[in-house]
Structure 1
Amino acid sequence: MTAISDLISSLETRVDPLSREICEVYWEMANTGNEELHKRMVELEMGMHAIFSDAQAFTTIREALDDPQYSGETRRVLQLLHNEFAGSQESEEIARRKAELSTSIDGDYANFRAELNGEKLSANDILDVLKHCNASPVRKATWQAAKRIGPVVAPKILELVDLRNRTARELGYRDYYDMSLKLQEIDEHEMLTGFRKLEELTREPFAALKAGLDARLVKRFRLGSTEELRPWHYEDPFFQEAPAIVELDLDSLFAGADLEKLTTDTFDRIGLDIRPSLAISDLYERENKDQHAFCMMVGRDPSRVHVLCNCRDNESWAATMLHEYGHAVYDMGLDPLQQYFLRDCAHISSTEAIAMLFGRLTHDEAWLVDILGVDSAKAAAASADARRQQSWAMLLFVRWMMVMVNFERSLYNDPSQDLNKLWWDLVGQYQMVTRPDNRDEPDWATKTHIAQAPVYYQNYLLGEMTASQLKHYIEHKLGNEPLVRQPRTGEWLRDGLFRRGSLLHWNETLRELTGERLNPQYFIDDFVSQQEAGA
């Protein structure tokens, strides 16, 4: 027992300072685009790899897991360490090349600006064109410009895929996809079975709503028929965000809004204070800054939780702020005295669930009234449309998620296949979008998750299902009021979820919190059944 305790203590002593510096360098890279930091990041990642690639330590951990004397908290720490070590059992040469590729790709994405007619466009500029422009040629040119990052990063991604697969197969896994799910403690068969059920349940209501949307788009763009619709006629480059299907101009409600105040007020209502994180975050657009949004805890220090956004006063960025600070309150709520390797969210899908639970609030009637200050009569009138719009968004999300999950699974199974064709085959099958004519480009590589967050996307849907389960418990068992009107919510989440860290398997944590393991029925009731009822 002493030898194992010493090993765990030694690992913490080595991992903690390195983890902190990795986070600090990444934060500076994201905020400045400073390419000189890339080499430093590679060296730091190699230092972390040196710790977790230690074959002797890995053998000791595996042997300890076979020994019944190790139980409880110690056994859980060993299991989590096993998952960390297993993903790092590769040569220094392969690890270094992976780190170099990842850092290079990060820089490519962060510094890319679509260029059109000599003008550089930010990601927000592209979305503005796709949302507001009625000229098909301009939309097409903008969409194509946004996709030019694909050929830049695709060869690097494919090399990464090969290296990831090589490591996984040497460890006895089918491929990197199989290894990733196992190390994330996700049962692949159980996950795919549940996702197929959702795909089947969403197929007809999605097709019906999309047909209505397509008919409106034909009129808007003065096309001859729906057969002329192409990807650039939708409101974002991937058709992953739901265009309006009702007369609901939420953006006008947010014009001039102080998103920091709205977010602070939201969490204040339920007893969670985000001000310590706001003070060390970076929330507005700037040249050379990463155009996306993320939350990052430095090391495993709940007092150092940063959020990066590029806020504008619209509904989308308001929802993003709530989403990212959902991640933040989880990290800030971790127990700083908990064993180091347990001081983390129960699972990726658990922190995504909290982020999604709060990100949904911009469509919530009580939130519109209490936080945004919308007139109650106006909010009540809009609530039915808002719920219908959100249900449509979730239907679209499920369809888009199926593209991502099936693409990644197939990518790692056979990266030599025609991936450009596969991508558009899946987009056509699940999103029912017609591929561009005569296009053979690596459009799949323009989705940053495939390179930067591999085998992660399934956690968004697991997170949405968990969010529905949590919301149901809060509004039907914790109390009988909307979430923002229940001040006990923050304490319940902090004590029942956040402070537990990763002491238990994520599904067991959920069972202890809500009384049952993950149950997709709450998501179905929230969104699929709602849409069918409103059809």
Structure 2
Amino acid sequence: MKKYLSISTLVLAGLVMWSCASKQEKMENKLKAFIEKHEATIQPLSKEAALAYWNASISGKNEDYATMEELNVKLTTVYTNKEAFAELKAIKESGEVKDSLLLRQLDIIYMQFLGNQIDTTKLARKIKMETEIEKKYSNFRAMVNGKAISDNDVEAILKKSTNSKELQAAWEAHKQIGPLVANDLKALVKLRNEIAKDLGFSNFHEMSLKLGDQDPAEVNTLFDELDSLTRGAFAQLKDDMDTYFAKRYNVKKENLMPWHYQNRFFQEAPVIYPVDIDKYYEKQDLVKLTATFYNGIGLNMDDVIAKSDLFEKPGKNQHAYCMDVDREGDVRSLNNVKPNSDWMGTLLHEFGHGVYSKYNDRNLPFELRTQAHTFTTEAIAMIFGRFSTNPMWMKDMGIIDSTEAVKIADNCHKTLRLQQLVFSRWAQVMYRFEKGMYENPDQDLNKLWWDLVEKYQMIKKPEGRNMPDYATKIHIATVPCYYHNYLLGELLASQLYYHITDKVLKSDDYVNQSFVNRPEVGTYLKQNVFMPGARYYWNEMIERATGEKLTAKYYAKQFVQ
């Protein structure tokens, strides 16, 4: 009897296991069929939309922006399909998908669909508004003394002039974009909030973080920690800057204004240390330097450079970006290169994005053939972008000799530290402004903006100024709720830099690394960061690559302590 019961029990258990396996196999096959159908639509359409964006950002023509808008509507409409979302939701809620690659694709595609389960009329309105506002930013040129000048020209005046009136005129001219887009921006913010609430979120900011696989409370905690970490060091540096600028512009420290800090937003380090890094790049071919560097670390970028658009043109978008057109090797970058250190850093940065995209694993499914998270590609771009002011890198690249490298080393390190702390405080403004704006778009946004600028950047608002200066920052309109990822990227950049120095280059010198002609750096990044793509959640990828989850301690070691 016992033997009979034992056999019966085994048979029953086997049937249960077979039934479970059958359910799992059935659901996974259902998901595979869904993904195959989805990719057949999304792959060619996303490529077409990417190329349309590329063409519009180069030409600035209305017809190209119209094409871009039309394709963006088509692309986004794929994710508004209610029946497809219901099928996807049923698969997800079944809990039967166990295969790790399938499960990861399911999570990614589900979030993409969830974020677009909105009324198609609202969706079309949103895309149209975004296209129109982007066009206004792209086509805007500041008017100084009756002459239209580019953003590069404004930056040049702010950096080089010592005439306060000239500085003020250039700064205020750039700010004239604000009134042109402020009403559009507020309407767009309200529409984004309406869409977020339709999907069950409190506001668009909360939705953006959650759909981006981030917990808003954790991001807040991290930003509070970084505020505490950098506040004292920045205050000391800010006092040093004010002392320097009071002398440079022959004004009292208490009379220094936003236009005295050598940048439209005080998001980049002003030149206060006696080293003019720009002069080293005046006669250099920055594009060739970029190609040589990446080739030397085993990440050839010649094909990417050949497809890129690198210099100024009338009507062309004045900003820089890198795009992965098809996740199959068509990677290209838009820049407006001038022979200076800023553009050297920008090229290294943008082609850092490029190597991440180019060296993906083509054997991965399409949805996983991308970065683990948007800030992980920022981290790679930042590691390389930092080298533009690194004397060891400049020496190893043949830009300066050893004597010059030693001579400027201390001030270059101070400059990089200043850059990081200045940017860190600027990122606080951007993150907290967007959070506050989406929580209450009807408040006095200019007051919110300047309250944050005064608190975190420690810069005074010009007396009596009441203009929509918040609307002059293009990212707020066109890349919403993204800026915090830049700061997370800086943290990861430092973490990866320390790991590469220690474990890959076998060095304990964390200051004088250049990575020049060290192909093992490229090998490490390809194997541990680029090729895994999005197969792991971002913090799992970071832990696999560095042995630790994302931490601020290496950023603090590098720039605060």
TM-score interval, smaller chain:
over 0.9
* Map 1:53-132 → 2, pairs under 5 A: 53-71=80-98, 72-132=100-160
SS in 1 for 2:412: helix
SS in 1 for 2:235: helix
SS in 1 for 2:421: helix
**What number of residue pairs does the alignment pair up?**
527
1:521 corresponds in structure 2 to 553
Contact 2:293 2:517 in 1 (8 A): no
Contact 2:372 2:536 in 1 (8 A): yes
Q: Which amino acid aligns with 1:503?
A: R
TM-superposition CA deviations, 1:14-46 (whole Å, max 9, x none): 111111111111111111111112222222111
CA–CA distance in structure 2, aligned partners of residues 362 and 33 of structure 1: 30
CA–CA distance in structure 1, aligned partners of residues 382 and 60 of structure 2: 28
For the pair 1:244 / 2:276, whether they are aligned, the reply is no
1:33 corresponds in structure 2 to 60
What runs of 5+ residues in structure 2 fail to find an aligned partner?
A: 1-27, 508-512
2:181 corresponds in structure 1 to 153
TM-superposition CA deviations, 1:398-445 (whole Å, max 9, x none): 110000000000011000000011100100000000001111111101
* Map 1:484-499 → 2, pairs under 5 A: 484-499=516-531
- Aligned mate of 1:385, from 408, 411, 422: 411
CA–CA distance in structure 1, aligned partners of residues 236 and 494 of structure 2: 24
Contact 2:357 2:530 in 1 (8 A): yes
1:294 corresponds in structure 2 to 321
TM-score (norm 2): 0.92
For the pair 1:10 / 2:42, whether they are aligned, the reply is no
What runs of 5+ residues in structure 1 fail to find an aligned partner?
A: 530-535
For the pair 1:395 / 2:421, whether they are aligned, the reply is yes
Shift of 1:62: 2.1
Q: Which amino acid aligns with 2:378?
A: E
- Aligned mate of 1:259, from 280, 286, 310: 286
1:477 corresponds in structure 2 to 503
Shift of 1:153: 1.1
Shift of 1:312: 0.8
CA–CA distance in structure 2, aligned partners of residues 299 and 147 of structure 1: 36
1:136 corresponds in structure 2 to 164
Shifted more, 352-361 versus 239-248: the winner is 239-248
TM-superposition CA deviations, 1:270-294 (whole Å, max 9, x none): 1110001011101111111111100
* Map 1:246-325 → 2, pairs under 5 A: 246-301=273-328, 303-325=329-351
TM-superposition CA deviations, 1:339-365 (whole Å, max 9, x none): 011111111011000000000011223
Contact 2:348 2:384 in 1 (8 A): yes
Structure (1 or 2) with the larger CA radius of gyration: 2
Shift of 1:244: 2.0
Q: Which amino acid aligns with 1:257?
A: Q
1:214 corresponds in structure 2 to 242
SS in 1 for 2:370: coil
Contact 1:366 1:484 in 2 (8 A): no
CA–CA distance in structure 1, aligned partners of residues 77 and 240 of structure 2: 55
SS in 2 for 1:484: coil
1:201 corresponds in structure 2 to 229
1:500 corresponds in structure 2 to 532
TM-superposition CA deviations, 1:214-268 (whole Å, max 9, x none): 1221122221x21211111110110111112311111111111001111111112
Contact 2:56 2:68 in 1 (8 A): no
Shift of 1:485: 4.9
The percent identity for this pair of structures is 39
SS in 1 for 2:176: helix
SS in 2 for 1:296: strand
* Map 1:332-371 → 2, pairs under 5 A: 332-371=358-397
Contact 1:420 1:440 in 2 (8 A): yes
Contact 1:131 1:236 in 2 (8 A): yes
SS in 1 for 2:323: strand
Q: Which amino acid aligns with 1:525?
A: K
1:233 corresponds in structure 2 to 260
- Aligned mate of 1:43, from 70, 75, 87: 70
SS in 1 for 2:62: coil
CA–CA distance in structure 1, aligned partners of residues 390 and 293 of structure 2: 12
When the two chains are superposed, the root-mean-square deviation of aligned CA atoms in Å is 1.1
CA–CA distance in structure 2, aligned partners of residues 50 and 190 of structure 1: 32
2:541 corresponds in structure 1 to 509
Shift of 1:378: 1.4
CA–CA distance in structure 2, aligned partners of residues 88 and 417 of structure 1: 27
CA–CA distance in structure 2, aligned partners of residues 217 and 474 of structure 1: 38
Shifted more, 63-72 versus 307-316: the winner is 63-72
CA–CA distance in structure 2, aligned partners of residues 50 and 296 of structure 1: 21
Contact 2:324 2:331 in 1 (8 A): yes
Shifted more, 243-252 versus 500-509: the winner is 243-252
CA–CA distance in structure 1, aligned partners of residues 449 and 387 of structure 2: 32
CA–CA distance in structure 1, aligned partners of residues 151 and 399 of structure 2: 29
1:443 corresponds in structure 2 to 469
Shifted more, 249-258 versus 2-11: the winner is 2-11
